[in-house]
């Protein structure tokens, strides 16, 4: 029996990646009472309104203070809590020094959620566009980076990261009506790529919402070259 049904997958897609995080947050609290979520005044935009109401003792709004929130989360981790921090992915650069010291150097198990990465909230201007966050975090050792391709994988990444005793950055891309890549439930494992199409000729690698774009590009190439059962693109 599948853990997640096709109707679940469709609903999460409509909610978008932030809404999916809010769904996962409820399960985080049910799984571990020591899990806490911190946000710099982004409760609603993190999909955490329900979490705040049902688990008020596990929710902390620290106001617009991204640098401070990483330090607070690090202190909580030192005291045995399992902290998740949400902020816009575009604001990751504001607290990069704290991420480097508390997450990378000290290896504290803080899970940082980068909301609306890429161009998802470009309507708010260049200040909210995040195209460099992966490069910034990749430059810091000891931090696992997860970049889910759709909303079901978002939930799987969040829940899997809860079990990590190490720092993690989870990059959420896309907005409402997020394209569905995985139409059925599947086994997710951190560090293991998902092969969506088997083949021999071409390897296309993508993360985040660009996985859906990559699948469309592969199909376009097949249509143009009229590849029907011959060479196959693998992803």
Tell me the pLDDT tens digit for each residue of 69-103: 999 999 999 999 999 999 999 999 999 999 999 99
117 with 220, same domain? no
| Same structural domain, 37 and 94 | yes
Predicted pLDDT of residue 175: 87
pLDDT 10s digits, 132-174: 999 999 999 999 999 999 999 999 999 999 999 999 999 999 9
The domain that holds 155 is classified in CATH as 3.40.50.970
Same domain for 221 and 137?
A: no
Same domain, 87 and 139: yes
Q: Are residues 160 and 207 in the same domain?
A: no
As for how many domains the chain has, the answer is 2
pTM of the model: 0.92
Residue 125 confidence (pLDDT) = 87
Q: Report pLDDT for 229.
A: 57
Q: Which domain holds residue 158?
A: 6-173
User: Which residue do the tokens 């309507």 mark?
Assistant: 123
Least confident piece of the model among 1-10, 30-39, 59-68, 83-92: 1-10
Look at residue 232 and tell me whether its pLDDT is greater than 80.
no
Residue 213 shares a structural domain with residue 125: no
What is the spatial distance between Cα 117 and Cα 124, in angstroms, rounded to a whole number?
13
Q: What is the mean pLDDT of residues 58-72?
A: 96
pLDDT of residue 1: 41
Q: Do residue 165 and residue 221 come from a single domain? A: no
For residue 204, the model assigns a pLDDT of 93
Co-location of 156 and 102 in the same domain? yes
Clarify whether residues 230 and 141 are in a common domain: no
Judge whether 190 lies within some domain: no
**In this predicted structure, what is the pLDDT of residue 222?**
86
pLDDT band at 190 (very low <50, low <70, confident <90, very high): very high
For residues 206 and 164, membership in a common domain is answered with no
Quote the mean pLDDT of the chain. Answer: 93
Decide if pLDDT at 61 tops 70: yes
> Residue 226 — pLDDT band, cuts 50, 70, 90?
confident
What H or E segment, with its residue span, contains residue 70?
A: helix 66-78
Do the Cβ atoms of 83 and 113 come closer than 8 Å? no
CA-to-CA dists, residue 135 to 89, 93, 139, 145, angstroms: 12, 11, 6, 10
Query: What is the helix (H) or strand (E) element at residue 171, kind and residue range?
Result: strand 168-173
Asked if residue 184 belongs to a domain, the reply is no
Mark whether 104 and 57 lie in a shared domain. Answer: yes
Name beta bridge partners: 88.
Answer: 115
The answer to whether position 195 is within a domain reads no
Residues 135 and 207 in one domain: no
Tokens encoding 139? 């430059």
Mean pLDDT on 1-6: 76
Domain assignment present for residue 163? The answer is yes
User: At which of 123, 154, 173 does a domain end?
Assistant: 173
């Amino acid at each position: 029996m599948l853990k997640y049904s096709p109707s679940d997958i469709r609903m999460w897609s409509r909610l978008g990646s932030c809404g999916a995080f809010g769904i996962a947050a409820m399960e985080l609290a049910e799984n571990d009472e020591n899990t806490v979520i911190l946000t710099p005044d982004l409760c609603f935009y993190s999909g955490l309104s329900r979490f705040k109401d049902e688990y008020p003792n596990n929710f902390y709004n620290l106001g617009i203070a991204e640098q401070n929130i990483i330090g607070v989360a690090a202190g909580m981790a030192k005291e045995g809590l399992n902290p998740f921090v949400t902020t816009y992915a575009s604001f990751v650069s504001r607290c990069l020094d704290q991420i480097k010291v508390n997450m990378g150097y000290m290896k504290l198990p803080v899970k940082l959620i980068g909301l609306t990465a890429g161009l998802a909230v470009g309507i708010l201007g260049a200040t909210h566009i995040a195209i460099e966050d992966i490069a910034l975090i990749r430059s810091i050792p000891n931090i696992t980076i997860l970049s889910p391709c759709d909303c079901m994988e978002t939930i799987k990444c969040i829940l899997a990261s809860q079990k990590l005793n190490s720092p993690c950055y989870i990059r959420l891309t896309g907005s409402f009506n997020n394209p569905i890549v995985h139409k059925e439930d599947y086994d997710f494992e951190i560090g293991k790529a998902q092969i969506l199409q088997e083949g021999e000729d071409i390897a296309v690698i993508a993360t985040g919402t660009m996985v859906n774009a990559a699948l469309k590009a592969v199909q376009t190439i097949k249509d143009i070259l009229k590849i029907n059962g011959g060479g196959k693109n693998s992803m």
